[in-house]
């Protein structure tokens, strides 16, 4: 028995890195698959409601596709509006911004004792050899990869919604032996994912609106762009809120003088982010996503390393999905307790009769 246990442990140590290696190598398949699963889960209640109304399944799928296209079109209109807002800015704004940015870089150089060739343009020195500006090919590759992943995501989502791939049956045949366990687990995953997306969307929306209103009130340029940026990046747990505050504060520092106005502006956007992300979001989430901060940060780094930006966005739902699966096994109670940061026992079916 000891030899068997040791063998299983060694196999587990070998298999886990191999799984993560395959997840990284085959990311072009797994990212659209996981993302399509989340999209399908969001629309499953609507599909069930249409099924109860005797609506044919092809029509129901067309309804879902129409909703997704409408959301994408609305997002495209907002991006176009924010782009027009930036392009309509006069040349005086860009000259002023360039002057403030140069002063900021020079002050940073003096503080850290960085030597630069005298007479050389600061912006050219730091940005001329930037790969972002120089590598047009990588930008085109990124666009093509995004387009291909979008098409694959749409394809997998249609398969899931049409039940060509039944995720519940997959759980039953691979992880659970009892049908009741797979059904119950699938319903919990569905409810938690829907709760996460709804709460995250509403919180991100009001965060974006709050940033836009703060920009309008303090006369900061491009309020639509900053509101859209705050809304989008807020889907990255923890990190997104910090990035939005830092970038907008830096932009405000470049645009306006470092006086009390700048201080109150930074204080305002920080208060918006704290109220939305640190107070209201946990209240609305409830115990759905009971993950401690260490677990969230580790999973953000792990999935961000494996899948980049999509991994950062999907890291929390994937982590909760794994946690829900582990909660169904008594031997994993220590792991789930560590993930949730709770010393109490997890609410498992076999613990209901225990006091």
138-147 tens-digit pLDDT: 666 667 777 8
Q: How far apart are CA 15 and CA 11, in angstroms?
A: 6
Counted residue by residue, the chain has a size of 355
- For 201-259, the pLDDT digits (tens) are 999 999 999 999 999 999 888 899 999 999 999 988 778 888 999 999 988 887 777 77
Distance CA(214)–CA(244), nearest Å, equals: 13
pLDDT one-digit tens code per residue, 84-100: 877 777 666 667 676 77
Contact in structure between 27 and 306 (CB atoms under 8 Å):
yes
Average pLDDT on 289-314 reads: 85
Share of the chain above pLDDT 70, in %: 76
Q: Counting Cβ atoms within 10 Å, is residue 136 exposed (0-12), middle (13-18) or buried (19+)? A: exposed
> Residue 54 pLDDT more than 90?
no
Q: Which two tokens stand for residue 327?
A: 């909660």
pLDDT of amino acid 345: 40
* Helix (H) or strand (E) run with residue 319 in it: helix 293-326
What's the average model confidence in pLDDT over 319-343?
78
Least confident of 94-108, 270-284, 338-352: 338-352
Pull the structure tokens for residue 28: 């072009």
Q: CA–CA distance from 4 to each of 1, 18, 329 (Å)?
A: 5, 21, 20
Q: Please tell me what DSSP assigns to residue 19.
A: H
| Pick from 335, 333, 353: nearest CA to 345 | 333
Percent helix / strand / coil, the chain, rounded to 5: 80, 0, 20
Task: Say what the alpha-carbon torsion angle 151, 156, 157, 160 is, to the nearest 10 degrees.
Answer: 170
Report how far residue 121's alpha carbon sits from residue 104's, in angstroms, rounded to the nearest whole number. 14
Separation between Cα atoms, residue 337 and residue 348, nearest integer Å: 12
Give the pLDDT band of residue 115 (cuts 50, 70, 90): low
Predicted confidence at residue 19, as pLDDT, reads: 87
Give dist(CA 221, CA 268) in Å, integer.
16
What is the average pLDDT score of the chain? Answer: 78
pTM of the predicted protein model: 0.77
Task: State the pLDDT confidence band at 344, using cuts at 50, 70 and 90.
Answer: very low
Residue 28 neighbours by CB under 8 Å, 6+ apart: 145, 148, 149, 152
CA atoms of 286 and 196, how far apart (whole Å):
10
Tens of pLDDT, residue by residue over 258-294, are 778 889 999 999 999 999 988 888 777 765 566 777 8
- What is the rounded distance in angstroms from the CA atom of residue 351 to the CA atom of residue 232? 41
For residue 117, the model assigns a pLDDT of 54
What the block records as the tokens of 197 is: 């997306």
């Amino acid at each position: 028995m000891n030899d068997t246990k040791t063998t299983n442990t060694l196999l587990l140590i070998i298999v886990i890195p191999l799984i993560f290696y395959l997840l990284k190598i085959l990311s072009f398949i797994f990212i659209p698959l996981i993302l399509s699963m989340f999209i399908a889960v969001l629309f499953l209640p609507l599909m069930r409601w249409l099924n109860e109304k005797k609506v044919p399944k092809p029509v129901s799928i067309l309804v879902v596709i129409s909703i997704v296209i409408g959301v994408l079109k609305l997002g495209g209109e907002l991006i176009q509006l924010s782009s027009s807002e930036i392009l309509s800015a006069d040349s005086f704004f860009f000259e002023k911004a360039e002057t403030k940015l140069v002063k900021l870089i020079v002050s940073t150089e003096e503080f850290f004792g960085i030597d630069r060739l005298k007479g050389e343009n600061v912006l050219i020195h730091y940005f001329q050899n930037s790969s972002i500006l120089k590598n047009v090919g990588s930008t085109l590759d990124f666009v093509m990869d995004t387009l291909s992943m979008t098409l694959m995501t749409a394809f997998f989502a249609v398969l899931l919604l049409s039940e060509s791939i039944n995720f519940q049956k997959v759980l039953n045949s691979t992880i659970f032996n009892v049908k009741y366990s797979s059904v119950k687990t699938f319903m919990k995953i569905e409810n938690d994912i829907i709760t996460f997306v709804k709460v995250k969307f509403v919180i991100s929306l009001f965060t974006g609106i709050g940033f836009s209103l703060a920009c309008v009130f303090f006369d900061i340029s491009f309020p639509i762009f900053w509101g859209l940026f705050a809304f989008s990046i807020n889907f990255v747990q923890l990190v997104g809120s910090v990035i939005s505050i830092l970038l907008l504060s830096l932009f405000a520092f470049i645009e306006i003088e470092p006086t009390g106005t700048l201080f109150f502006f930074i204080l305002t956007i920080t208060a918006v982010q704290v109220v939305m992300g640190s107070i209201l979001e946990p209240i609305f989430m409830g115990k759905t996503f009971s993950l401690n901060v260490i677990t969230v940060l580790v999973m953000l780094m792990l999935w961000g390393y494996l899948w980049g930006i999509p991994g950062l966005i999907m890291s929390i739902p994937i982590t909760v999905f794994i946690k829900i699966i582990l909660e169904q096994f008594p031997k994993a109670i220590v792991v789930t307790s560590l993930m949730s940061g709770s010393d109490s026992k997890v609410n498992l079916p076999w613990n209901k009769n225990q006091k």
